[in-house]
Amino acid sequence: MSITQLPSPAVAAVVAQGLTKRFGTTEALRGVDFEIERGKVLGLLGPNGAGKTTAVRILCTLLKPDAGRAFIDGIDVLADPRRARARIGLTGQFAAVEERLTGFENLQHVGRLFHLRTSEARRRARELLEQFDLVDAADRVARTYSGGMRRRLDIAMSLIGRPSVLFLDEPTTGLDPRSRLGMWDVIDELGRAGTTTLLTTQYLDEADRLADQIVVIDQGTAIARGTADELKRRVGGDLVDVVLADPADGRRAVELLTPRACGQGKVVLGTTTVTVPVDGFAGVVPAVVRDLDQAGIQVVDVGTRRSTLDDVFFALTGRPAQEADDEPSDDHPEAPTSAPETKVEAG
Amino acid sequence: MAVAAVPTATPVGGDIPRGFTWAVRDCWTEASRHLRALPRNPEVLAFSTIQPVMFVLLFAYVFGGAINVPGYDDYLQFLLPGIFAQTVVFGSTFAAVGLAEDTTRGIADRLRSLPMFGPAVLIGRTFADLIRNVFTFVVMLVVAFLIGFRFEGSLAGALAASLLLLGFAYAFTWVNALLGVSVGSVEAANSASFIWIFPLTFVSSAFVDPRSMPSWLEPIARNNPFTIATNAVRALYNGRPPGADLWLAVAWAVGITVVFAVLASRRFTASTR
Ligand SMILES: Nc1ncnc2c1ncn2[C@@H]1O[C@H](COP(=O)(O)OP(=O)(O)O)[C@@H](O)[C@H]1O
Ligand SMILES: [Mg+2]
């Protein structure tokens, strides 16, 4: 994936400053800032309705912000959208493939609209079919493709013009688990090849796995940023989950165990599970069990695990991050729904 | 992570072409997307052939004997130009559905994020629709001839009539293009286009003489641009002078095309959605 004539590395490939956008009474973005260093993958992580797609659409010149500025390779996307467009590749939330054309034709078509020479468009198309493991399906119409194949074709299409920045808006939402892992490999590979990427996702493990930097966005505001490890450190790296026999003991258990929590970490209560952030596991499990036992609280199970970004999100917002639903087509939900149980156990 | 000062623009390669030839090339690229797909889409092909054939036969045989129109001995000679006009205008609704499909499937977003000439998406689409309509029209004309329709006037007149029909339908393709880029779903686009096309084509001189309509409806039917175009086309096919209808119909077609092409293109390229 060689990009000719790299602009000065001092300039971030993507700069978003104070992005603000309102739809009627919905404040989709309330002043969001971020930058993407060249060659890095930024994960924009947030639940449904957080404003991820809105941010992507502004950066891709599809939407004008009410306030704020955005730059691609130093090009102001508001002042010079067409030049910015020559630098970007967009893979939107829905696989934007022309179902009536074959994989090869789809690629060639976008290549021509990127104003590649016909021979170059063909050559790139073949190259990308190879890279995205679509050679066998190249001459089949995209209507016959599986969800995972469509997504791969979609990403390939956004790469045909050798963009300097790739936007991937929820690339794995709606994919079955196997295709999802396949997609991770694809994105991983792009990242290792140095493709500057903005990846949005509601899957916390996805950002953890793929992004160099993460910006957590919630209700139009960036609420945290850093590497996955930095974010995890905020809740303590290690967690002890205690499953109680009687959910009614929950409150009391939280009080009892709070002194055991490390640093800024908070003890979190799920339906039947109490999660305690700790600094290393040595001796902790027996201590926790003893505390509860002495208070006459019955414990069904105790487990230890490394904290995930789910825990981070909960710690930051007091709400669980909504695990991505099965509805990939839910573009504009009325409001982010919360499902209190799903989170704490999810590990 | 503090946000740095506004970065200075880095002039790099990858200039994007501008100008007329690139715009035309983009239009053709987009048109070829649809033209290439056309023969692969059995439903659309069926709709483009079977439906017009059925219309010609149904109307001709169901109404053919029952309706008398003053000035025409043979109702077929009166009716068929009306059917032609209605069918090609119906054919213009593909644009609404197709563009709504592009929008809901994210294809419109992808295209709008490319360094291309934005309106090419609409121009290419309407051009492909025009080609499909030519095909529909030819099929229809052949069937019409088989059941006894004839050009009563000059071949030049018949040719002019045919061009007017297709041009008029092309104008309405732009109305439907505006609908297609404005409504939020394919179903909405479908109903939104038929909801005005049905009254437009039926409250007209396509099937009956407007003088046979209720008095409140008659002036509407008579001034309907669809009536004007149908009358001009009918006159030309039957070797009668079209009179002012011809120029009026051309003016309508050009006017609708210009106004709706501008509106639809603006709507499509606007960064407001
Ligand atoms: N075109 C629109 N019209 C009205 N509301 C919108 C529109 N686009 C997004 N929204 C609203 O803005 C908020 C953020 O949406 P979005 O950016 O799509 O979130 P995400 O991609 O993170 O799920 C949501 O509340 C959504 O309903
Ligand atoms: Mg979204």
Query: Mind listing the pLDDT tens digit for each residue in A74-129?
Result: 999 999 998 999 999 999 888 899 999 999 999 999 999 999 999 999 999 999 99
For residue B200, what pLDDT is reported?
A: 92
User: Residue A343 pLDDT more than 50?
Assistant: no
Whether B7 sits inside 8 A of A71 (CB atoms) is: yes
Which is higher by pLDDT, A164 or B62? Answer: A164
Confidence of residue A321 (pLDDT cuts 50, 70, 90): low
Which ligand 1 atom minimizes the distance to the CA of A48?
23
Pocket residue to mutate for ligand 1, from A52, A216, A332, A337, most atoms within 8 A of Cβ: A332
For residue B113, what pLDDT is reported?
A: 94
Which ligand 1 atom minimizes the distance to the CA of A52?
22
- Give the span between the Cα atoms of B97 and B180, in whole angstroms: 6
Whether B17 sits inside 8 A of A90 (CB atoms) is: no
* Residue of chain A with shortest Cα separation from B271: A63
User: Residue B9 pLDDT more than 70?
Assistant: no
Which-ligand-closest: CA of A29? 1
Among protein residues, the one with the nearest Cα to ligand 1's atom 18 is A53
Q: Write the DSSP string, B14-78.
A: -PPP-SHHHHHHHHHHHHHHHHHHGGG-HHHHHHHHHHHHHHHHHIIIIITTT--BTTBSSHHHH
Asked if residue A162 and residue A285 are part of one domain, the reply reads no
Q: Poorest-confidence range of A212-221, A296-305, B94-103, B135-144?
A: A296-305
For residue B2, what pLDDT is reported?
A: 37
pLDDT by residue (tens digit) across A149-182? 999 999 999 999 889 999 999 999 888 888 889 8
Asked if residue A260 and residue A195 are part of one domain, the reply reads no
CB-ligand 1 contact for A92 (6 Å cutoff): no
* A317 lies in some domain: no
- Give the span between the Cα atoms of A153 and A129, in whole angstroms: 8
Structural domain including A180 reads 14-228+326-344
- Give the span between the Cα atoms of A92 and B110, in whole angstroms: 7
Q: Check which CATH number belongs to the domain holding A302 and give it.
A: 3.30.70.260
- Give the span between the Cα atoms of B221 and B228, in whole angstroms: 9
Q: Which of residues 248-267 of A touch B (CB under 8 A)?
A: none
* A187 lies in some domain: yes
CB-ligand 1 contact for A164 (6 Å cutoff): no
For residue A213, what pLDDT is reported?
A: 95
Whether A110 sits inside 8 A of B114 (CB atoms) is: yes
Asked if residue A178 and residue A273 are part of one domain, the reply reads no
* A103 lies in some domain: yes
- Give the span between the Cα atoms of B31 and A145, in whole angstroms: 24
User: Residue A346 pLDDT more than 80?
Assistant: no
User: Residue A333 pLDDT more than 60?
Assistant: no
Asked if residue A285 and residue A206 are part of one domain, the reply reads no
Asked if residue A114 and residue A52 are part of one domain, the reply reads yes
Question: Which residues of A are less than 8 Å from B112 in CB distance?
Answer: 61-62
* A1 lies in some domain: no
* A316 lies in some domain: no
Question: Which residues of B are less than 8 Å from A81 in CB distance?
Answer: 271
CB contact, 8 Å: B14 with chain A?
Answer: yes
How would you class A55 by CB atoms within 10 Å of its CB: exposed for 0-12, middle for 13-18, buried for 19 or more? buried
Among protein residues, the one with the nearest Cα to ligand 1's atom 25 is A49
Q: Write the DSSP string, A25-50.
A: TEEEEEEEEEEE-TT-EEEEE--TTS
Asked if residue A250 and residue A193 are part of one domain, the reply reads no
Secondary structure class of A300 (helix, strand, coil)? strand
d(CA A58, nearest CA chain B) in Å = 9
Decide if B201 contacts B226 (C-beta within 8 A).
yes
* A48 lies in some domain: yes
CB-ligand 1 contact for A52 (6 Å cutoff): yes
For residue B272, what pLDDT is reported?
A: 54
pLDDT by residue (tens digit) across A27-76? 999 999 999 999 999 999 998 999 999 999 999 999 999 999 999 999 99
Q: Which helix (H) or strand (E) is A75 found in, with range?
A: strand A75-76
- Give the span between the Cα atoms of A35 and A74, in whole angstroms: 11
User: Residue B35 pLDDT more than 80?
Assistant: yes
Provide, rounded to the nearest whole percent, the portion of chain B with pLDDT above 70: 93
Which ligand 1 atom minimizes the distance to the CA of A51?
17
Give residues with Cβ within 8 angstroms of A141, minimum separation 6: A99, A100, A101, A102, B40
Question: Which residues of B are less than 8 Å from A60 in CB distance?
Answer: 109, 113
Confidence of residue B271 (pLDDT cuts 50, 70, 90): low
Q: Poorest-confidence range of A304-318, B51-65, B237-251?
A: A304-318
Tokens of A49: 């309705």
The whole-chain average pLDDT of chain B stands at: 88
For residue B8, what pLDDT is reported?
A: 37
* A4 lies in some domain: no
Asked if residue A53 and residue A162 are part of one domain, the reply reads yes
Confidence of residue B12 (pLDDT cuts 50, 70, 90): very low
Give residues with Cβ within 8 angstroms of B151, minimum separation 6: B157, B158, B237, B239
* Residue of chain B with shortest Cα separation from A9: B10
Cα B128 to middle of ligand 2, angstroms: 32
Instruction: Specify the number of domains making up chain A.
Output: 2
Confidence of residue B55 (pLDDT cuts 50, 70, 90): confident
Confidence of residue A340 (pLDDT cuts 50, 70, 90): very low
Q: Which of residues 97-116 of B touch A (CB under 8 A)?
A: 104-107, 109-116
CB-ligand 1 contact for A332 (6 Å cutoff): yes
CB-ligand 1 contact for A29 (6 Å cutoff): no
Confidence of residue A250 (pLDDT cuts 50, 70, 90): confident
Asked if residue A244 and residue A222 are part of one domain, the reply reads no
* A319 lies in some domain: no
pLDDT by residue (tens digit) across B147-201? 999 999 999 999 999 999 999 999 999 999 999 999 989 999 999 988 999 999 9
Q: Check which CATH number belongs to the domain holding A121 and give it.
A: 3.40.50.300
Asked if residue A257 and residue A213 are part of one domain, the reply reads no
Whether B109 sits inside 8 A of A157 (CB atoms) is: no
Q: Across chain B, where does the E strand assignment appear?
A: none
Tokens of B105: 């499937």
When scoring A6, A98, A155 by the number of chain B Cβ atoms within 10 A, the one with the most, hence best to mutate, is A98
Q: Poorest-confidence range of A134-138, A264-268, B101-105?
A: A264-268
CB contact, 8 Å: A212 with chain B?
Answer: no
Q: Which of residues 301-340 of A touch B (CB under 8 A)?
A: none
CB-ligand 1 contact for A45 (6 Å cutoff): no
Asked if residue A301 and residue A199 are part of one domain, the reply reads no
Asked if residue A286 and residue A198 are part of one domain, the reply reads no
Asked if residue A289 and residue A243 are part of one domain, the reply reads yes
Confidence of residue A322 (pLDDT cuts 50, 70, 90): low
Nearest residue, CB atoms, B3 vs list A33, A81, A87: A33
Pocket residue to mutate for ligand 1, from A53, A63, A91, most atoms within 8 A of Cβ: A53
